[in-house]
A and B are shown apart, each in its own frame.
Chain A
Amino acid sequence: MNRLPFTLVVGAIITAFFVGTALLSLVWTPHDITELEISQRLQPASATYWLGTDQFGRDMVSMLMEGSRTSIAVALIAVGLGIVVGVPLGLAAAAARGSLLDEVIMRGNDLIFAFPSLVIAILITAVYGPSATNAIVAIGIFNIPVFARVARGGALPIWTLDYILAARTAGKSRARISAEHVLPNIANLLIVQATIQFSLGILAEAALSYVNLGAQPPTSSIGKMLAESQTMIYSNPSLAVLPGLAIVIMVLGLNLMGDGLRDALDPRLRRARG
Chain B
Amino acid sequence: MIEIEHLTLGIRGTPILDDVSLRIEQGEIFGLVGESGSGKSMTALSVMGLLPRGTTINGAARLDDVDLLTLREHDLRQIRGNDIGMIFQEPMTALNPVQTIGDQVAETLLIHDAADRAEARRIARDRLDRVGLSHIELDRYPHELSGGQRQRVCIAAAIALHPRLLIADEPTTALDVTTQAQILDLLKGIVAEENMALLLITHDLAVVSDMADRIAVMQNGMIVEQGETAQVLRDQVHPYTSALFAASAHQPDRTEPAQSDAILSLRDVHRHYPGPRQGFIRGDPVRAVDGVSFDLQRGESLGLVGESGCGKSTLTRAILGLDPVTSGQIILNGAEISPAMPRARRAQMQVVFQDPYGSFNPRWRVDRIIAEPYFLLDAPPHGIDRDDAISAALEAVRLSPGDALKYPHEFSGGQRQRIAIARALITRPDLLVLDEAVSALDVSVRAQILDLLADLQTEFGLSYLFISHDLTVVRAITDRVLVMQAGRIVEQGETQAMFTAPQHPYTQSLLAAAPRLPDDIGERHDALV
Contact = CB atoms under 8 A, between A and B. Distances in A.
B375 A184 contact: no
Interface in B14-64: 54
Contacts of A185: 361-363
A170 B363 contact: no
Contact of B353 (A166, A180, A181, A184): A166
A171 B321 CA distance: 10
A166 B355 contact: no
Chain B, interface SS category: loop
B351 interface: yes
A167 interface: yes
Contacts of A165: 320, 322, 351, 353
B434 to A, nearest CB: 13
A274 B355 CA distance: 23
Interface string A149-182: 0000000000001110111111110000000110
Contacts of A171: 343, 346-347, 375-376
B321 to A, nearest CB: 8
Interface in B320-365: 320-322, 343, 346-347, 349-351, 353-355, 358-363
B363 A274 contact: no
Given A162-B358, A185-B361, A170 B322 contact: no
Given A165-B353, A184-B363, A170 B12 contact: no
Given A169-B351, A170-B373, A171-B346, A163 B320 contact: no
Contacts, number: 53
A163 B375 CA distance: 15
Nearest to A267: B362
A274 B358 contact: no
A167 to B, nearest CB: 6
Chain A, interface SS category: helix
B191 to A, nearest CB: 35
Contacts of A180: 361
Interface string B376-400: 1000000000000000000000000
B233 to A, nearest CB: 36
The contact size tier of chain A is: 10 to 19
Contacts of A161: 358
A210 to B, nearest CB: 43
B423 interface: yes
Nearest to A177: B361
Given A171-B343, A171-B346, A166 B363 contact: no
A163 B376 contact: no
Given A162-B353, A162-B354, A162-B355, A168 B322 contact: yes
Interface string A119-148: 000000000000000000000000000000
Nearest to B374: A170
A164 to B, nearest CB: 9
B354 A169 contact: no
Contact of A184 (B355, B360, B361): B361
B261 interface: no
Interface of A: 161-163, 165-172, 180-181, 184-185, 274
24 contacts: A162-B355, A162-B359, A163-B359, A165-B351, A166-B353, A166-B372, A166-B420, A166-B423, A167-B372, A168-B322, A169-B321, A169-B322, A169-B346, A169-B349, A170-B375, A170-B376, A171-B346, A171-B347, A172-B372, A181-B361, A184-B361, A185-B361, A185-B363, A274-B54
**Closest CB pairs A-B (n = 7):** A162-B353, A171-B343, A162-B359, A161-B358, A162-B358, A170-B373, A171-B376
Given A163-B359, A169-B322, A170-B372, 4 more contacts: A162-B354, A170-B373, A171-B346, A171-B375
Interface of B: 12, 54, 320-322, 343, 346-347, 349-351, 353-355, 358-363, 372-373, 375-376, 420, 423
